[in-house]
Amino acid sequence: MAKANKSAEVADMSIAEKLKALYDLQLVDTAIDKIRILRGELPLEVQDLEDEIEGLQTRVSKYDDDIENLNKSINGKKQEIQNALELIKKYEEQQNNVRNNREYDSLSKEIEFQTLEIELCEKRIREFTAQIEEKKVVIGESRGVLEERKLDLENKNKELDDIIDDTKKEEEVMEKKSATLEGIIESRLTTAYKKIRGNARNGLAVVPVERDACGGCFNKIPPQRQLDIASRKKIIVCEYCGRILVDSKISEAV
Protein backbone atom coordinates (compact mmCIF):
# COMPACT_ATOMS: atom_id res chain seq x y z
CA MET A 1 0.00 0.00 0.00
CA ALA A 2 2.85 2.37 0.86
CA LYS A 3 4.47 1.68 -2.51
CA ALA A 4 1.20 2.40 -4.28
CA ASN A 5 0.81 5.68 -2.40
CA LYS A 6 4.36 6.66 -3.28
CA SER A 7 3.78 5.92 -6.98
CA ALA A 8 0.63 8.02 -6.84
CA GLU A 9 2.55 10.89 -5.25
CA VAL A 10 5.22 10.73 -7.93
CA ALA A 11 2.59 10.61 -10.67
CA ASP A 12 0.87 13.68 -9.17
CA MET A 13 4.07 15.77 -9.33
CA SER A 14 4.04 18.57 -11.87
CA ILE A 15 6.87 18.95 -14.38
CA ALA A 16 8.06 22.00 -12.44
CA GLU A 17 8.20 19.95 -9.24
CA LYS A 18 10.07 17.16 -11.00
CA LEU A 19 12.60 19.63 -12.36
CA LYS A 20 13.05 21.16 -8.91
CA ALA A 21 13.53 17.72 -7.37
CA LEU A 22 16.07 16.77 -10.06
CA TYR A 23 17.96 20.03 -9.52
CA ASP A 24 17.98 19.53 -5.74
CA LEU A 25 19.21 15.97 -6.27
CA GLN A 26 22.00 17.32 -8.44
CA LEU A 27 23.04 19.82 -5.75
CA VAL A 28 23.16 17.08 -3.12
CA ASP A 29 25.08 14.65 -5.35
CA THR A 30 27.54 17.41 -6.30
CA ALA A 31 28.15 18.04 -2.59
CA ILE A 32 28.80 14.31 -2.11
CA ASP A 33 31.22 14.37 -5.06
CA LYS A 34 33.16 17.26 -3.49
CA ILE A 35 33.39 15.43 -0.15
CA ARG A 36 34.77 12.34 -1.86
CA ILE A 37 37.25 14.36 -3.90
CA LEU A 38 38.45 16.16 -0.75
CA ARG A 39 38.85 12.88 1.11
CA GLY A 40 40.66 11.46 -1.89
CA GLU A 41 43.16 14.36 -2.04
CA LEU A 42 43.92 14.66 1.67
CA PRO A 43 46.07 11.51 1.90
CA LEU A 44 48.33 12.95 -0.81
CA GLU A 45 49.68 15.49 1.70
CA VAL A 46 50.44 12.67 4.12
CA GLN A 47 52.06 10.66 1.32
CA ASP A 48 54.24 13.63 0.35
CA LEU A 49 55.43 13.95 3.96
CA GLU A 50 56.11 10.22 4.21
CA ASP A 51 58.11 10.35 0.97
CA GLU A 52 60.10 13.35 2.22
CA ILE A 53 60.83 11.61 5.53
CA GLU A 54 61.95 8.47 3.71
CA GLY A 55 64.20 10.59 1.49
CA LEU A 56 65.75 12.35 4.49
CA GLN A 57 66.31 9.05 6.29
CA THR A 58 67.96 7.61 3.18
CA ARG A 59 70.15 10.71 2.91
CA VAL A 60 71.25 10.52 6.56
CA SER A 61 71.93 6.80 6.24
CA LYS A 62 74.03 7.36 3.11
CA TYR A 63 76.05 10.11 4.78
CA ASP A 64 76.58 7.88 7.84
CA ASP A 65 77.93 5.20 5.51
CA ASP A 66 80.16 7.78 3.79
CA ILE A 67 81.57 8.89 7.14
CA GLU A 68 82.22 5.27 8.13
CA ASN A 69 84.07 4.68 4.85
CA LEU A 70 86.05 7.90 5.27
CA ASN A 71 87.07 6.88 8.79
CA LYS A 72 88.23 3.54 7.41
CA SER A 73 90.23 5.41 4.78
CA ILE A 74 91.77 7.63 7.48
CA ASN A 75 92.74 4.57 9.50
CA GLY A 76 94.21 3.05 6.35
CA LYS A 77 96.31 6.17 5.73
CA LYS A 78 97.44 6.19 9.35
CA GLN A 79 98.59 2.61 8.93
CA GLU A 80 100.44 3.60 5.75
CA ILE A 81 102.16 6.38 7.71
CA GLN A 82 103.14 3.90 10.43
CA ASN A 83 104.53 1.53 7.79
CA ALA A 84 106.46 4.38 6.17
CA LEU A 85 107.93 5.47 9.53
CA GLU A 86 109.09 1.93 10.18
CA LEU A 87 110.71 1.78 6.76
CA ILE A 88 112.42 5.14 7.33
CA LYS A 89 113.78 3.88 10.64
CA LYS A 90 114.98 0.71 8.92
CA TYR A 91 116.65 2.63 6.07
CA GLU A 92 118.31 5.05 8.49
CA GLU A 93 119.76 2.12 10.40
CA GLN A 94 121.00 0.58 7.15
CA GLN A 95 122.70 3.86 6.23
CA ASN A 96 124.97 3.39 9.24
CA ASN A 97 126.30 0.19 7.71
CA VAL A 98 126.66 1.08 3.99
CA ARG A 99 129.88 0.27 2.18
CA ASN A 100 129.78 3.09 -0.37
CA ASN A 101 128.08 6.34 -1.38
CA ARG A 102 125.89 4.63 -3.98
CA GLU A 103 124.20 2.49 -1.33
CA TYR A 104 123.85 5.53 0.94
CA ASP A 105 122.26 7.61 -1.84
CA SER A 106 119.92 4.75 -2.71
CA LEU A 107 118.74 4.51 0.91
CA SER A 108 118.39 8.30 1.06
CA LYS A 109 116.09 8.19 -1.93
CA GLU A 110 114.00 5.49 -0.24
CA ILE A 111 113.78 7.63 2.90
CA GLU A 112 112.78 10.65 0.80
CA PHE A 113 110.14 8.60 -1.00
CA GLN A 114 108.65 7.34 2.27
CA THR A 115 108.70 10.89 3.64
CA LEU A 116 106.71 12.04 0.60
CA GLU A 117 104.32 9.12 1.12
CA ILE A 118 103.77 10.28 4.70
CA GLU A 119 103.06 13.85 3.53
CA LEU A 120 100.63 12.55 0.91
CA CYS A 121 98.85 10.39 3.50
CA GLU A 122 98.63 13.33 5.90
CA LYS A 123 97.15 15.46 3.09
CA ARG A 124 94.59 12.75 2.35
CA ILE A 125 93.74 12.49 6.07
CA ARG A 126 93.10 16.25 6.19
CA GLU A 127 90.88 16.01 3.10
CA PHE A 128 88.95 13.05 4.50
CA THR A 129 88.55 14.81 7.85
CA ALA A 130 87.20 17.94 6.12
CA GLN A 131 84.72 15.80 4.17
CA ILE A 132 83.60 14.13 7.39
CA GLU A 133 82.96 17.51 9.01
CA GLU A 134 80.98 18.70 5.99
CA LYS A 135 78.88 15.56 6.00
CA LYS A 136 78.29 15.86 9.75
CA VAL A 137 76.90 19.37 9.18
CA VAL A 138 74.55 18.05 6.47
CA ILE A 139 73.52 15.14 8.70
CA GLY A 140 72.77 17.54 11.56
CA GLU A 141 70.66 19.76 9.31
CA SER A 142 68.88 16.75 7.76
CA ARG A 143 68.11 15.26 11.16
CA GLY A 144 66.69 18.60 12.29
CA VAL A 145 64.41 18.75 9.24
CA LEU A 146 63.59 15.07 9.71
CA GLU A 147 62.33 15.64 13.25
CA GLU A 148 60.24 18.59 12.04
CA ARG A 149 58.73 16.50 9.24
CA LYS A 150 57.96 13.64 11.62
CA LEU A 151 56.10 16.08 13.85
CA ASP A 152 54.31 17.51 10.80
CA LEU A 153 53.34 13.98 9.76
CA GLU A 154 52.02 13.17 13.21
CA ASN A 155 49.89 16.34 13.22
CA LYS A 156 48.77 15.81 9.62
CA ASN A 157 47.71 12.23 10.33
CA LYS A 158 45.65 13.41 13.29
CA GLU A 159 44.13 16.19 11.21
CA LEU A 160 43.43 13.72 8.42
CA ASP A 161 41.71 11.28 10.77
CA ASP A 162 39.53 14.08 12.15
CA ILE A 163 38.61 15.34 8.69
CA ILE A 164 37.82 11.84 7.45
CA ASP A 165 35.54 11.29 10.44
CA ASP A 166 33.80 14.61 9.81
CA THR A 167 33.39 14.10 6.06
CA LYS A 168 32.07 10.59 6.55
CA LYS A 169 29.33 11.92 8.82
CA GLU A 170 28.51 14.69 6.35
CA GLU A 171 28.55 12.21 3.48
CA GLU A 172 26.12 9.90 5.28
CA VAL A 173 23.72 12.82 5.83
CA MET A 174 23.96 13.86 2.17
CA GLU A 175 23.50 10.28 0.96
CA LYS A 176 20.25 10.05 2.95
CA LYS A 177 19.08 13.31 1.35
CA SER A 178 20.00 11.94 -2.07
CA ALA A 179 18.07 8.72 -1.43
CA THR A 180 15.05 10.72 -0.21
CA LEU A 181 15.04 12.88 -3.34
CA GLU A 182 15.44 9.85 -5.58
CA GLY A 183 12.45 8.38 -3.82
CA ILE A 184 10.14 11.19 -4.93
CA ILE A 185 11.31 11.20 -8.56
CA GLU A 186 9.92 8.70 -11.02
CA SER A 187 12.32 5.91 -11.88
CA ARG A 188 12.66 6.74 -15.59
CA LEU A 189 13.93 10.21 -14.70
CA THR A 190 16.38 8.97 -12.06
CA THR A 191 17.65 6.37 -14.56
CA ALA A 192 18.19 9.07 -17.18
CA TYR A 193 19.75 11.37 -14.56
CA LYS A 194 22.25 8.72 -13.45
CA LYS A 195 23.13 7.86 -17.04
CA ILE A 196 23.85 11.51 -17.88
CA ARG A 197 25.83 11.91 -14.65
CA GLY A 198 27.88 8.86 -15.45
CA ASN A 199 28.79 10.21 -18.88
CA ALA A 200 29.54 13.76 -17.68
CA ARG A 201 33.14 14.38 -16.67
CA ASN A 202 32.13 16.71 -13.83
CA GLY A 203 29.12 14.64 -12.75
CA LEU A 204 26.64 17.36 -13.73
CA ALA A 205 23.41 16.01 -15.20
CA VAL A 206 21.11 18.94 -14.34
CA VAL A 207 22.42 22.44 -15.05
CA PRO A 208 20.90 25.92 -15.06
CA VAL A 209 20.98 28.27 -18.03
CA GLU A 210 23.42 31.05 -17.14
CA ARG A 211 24.28 34.02 -19.33
CA ASP A 212 22.19 32.53 -22.13
CA ALA A 213 24.29 29.36 -22.17
CA CYS A 214 24.17 25.78 -20.92
CA GLY A 215 25.76 25.53 -17.47
CA GLY A 216 27.41 22.28 -18.49
CA CYS A 217 28.93 22.74 -21.95
CA PHE A 218 28.51 26.57 -22.16
CA ASN A 219 26.96 26.48 -25.63
CA LYS A 220 24.47 29.24 -26.35
CA ILE A 221 20.76 28.49 -25.84
CA PRO A 222 18.32 30.23 -28.26
CA PRO A 223 15.96 32.78 -26.62
CA GLN A 224 12.78 30.82 -27.45
CA ARG A 225 14.26 27.66 -25.93
CA GLN A 226 15.17 29.63 -22.82
CA LEU A 227 11.54 30.72 -22.50
CA ASP A 228 10.44 27.09 -22.79
CA ILE A 229 12.91 26.11 -20.07
CA ALA A 230 11.76 28.92 -17.80
CA SER A 231 8.11 27.87 -18.22
CA ARG A 232 8.94 24.50 -16.61
CA LYS A 233 6.21 22.77 -18.58
CA LYS A 234 8.43 20.09 -20.08
CA ILE A 235 11.83 18.55 -19.51
CA ILE A 236 14.34 19.96 -21.98
CA VAL A 237 17.87 18.71 -22.57
CA CYS A 238 20.81 20.54 -24.10
CA GLU A 239 21.11 19.64 -27.78
CA TYR A 240 24.89 19.79 -27.47
CA CYS A 241 25.73 17.82 -24.29
CA GLY A 242 22.45 16.10 -23.40
CA ARG A 243 22.21 17.57 -19.90
CA ILE A 244 18.84 18.44 -18.40
CA LEU A 245 18.35 22.20 -18.49
CA VAL A 246 16.63 24.30 -15.82
CA ASP A 247 16.22 28.05 -15.46
CA SER A 248 18.53 29.95 -13.13
CA LYS A 249 15.67 30.71 -10.71
CA ILE A 250 14.75 27.06 -10.13
CA SER A 251 16.43 27.11 -6.72
CA GLU A 252 13.91 29.74 -5.59
CA ALA A 253 10.96 27.50 -6.43
CA VAL A 254 9.05 26.08 -3.49
Identify the band that residue 166 occupies on the pLDDT scale cut at 50, 70 and 90.
Answer: confident
For the chain, the straight-line distance linking the first and the last C-alpha, in angstroms and rounded, comes to 28
Q: What is the mean pLDDT of the chain?
A: 91
pLDDT digits (tens, 9 = 90+) for 206-239: 999 999 999 999 999 999 999 999 999 999 999 9
pLDDT of residue 150: 95
Q: By three-state DSSP, how is residue 246 classified?
A: strand
* Average pLDDT of the segment spanning 105-124: 96
Smallest CA-to-CA distance from 216 within 76, 14, 30, 80 is with 30
Identify the band that residue 4 occupies on the pLDDT scale cut at 50, 70 and 90.
Answer: very low
Task: Specify the range with the lowest mean pLDDT, choosing from 38-42, 80-84, 189-193.
Answer: 38-42
pLDDT digits (tens, 9 = 90+) for 64-99: 999 999 999 999 999 999 999 999 999 999 999 888
- The H-assigned helical ranges of the chain are 2-12, 15-95, 101-183, 187-199, 223-231
| Domains recognised in the chain with CATH numbers | 38-169 (1.10.287.1490)
With beta carbons less than 8 A apart as the criterion, state whether 80 and 190 touch: no
Q: By three-state DSSP, how is residue 184 classified?
A: coil
List of residues 6+ apart from 169 with CB closer than 8 A = none
Identify the band that residue 6 occupies on the pLDDT scale cut at 50, 70 and 90.
Answer: very low
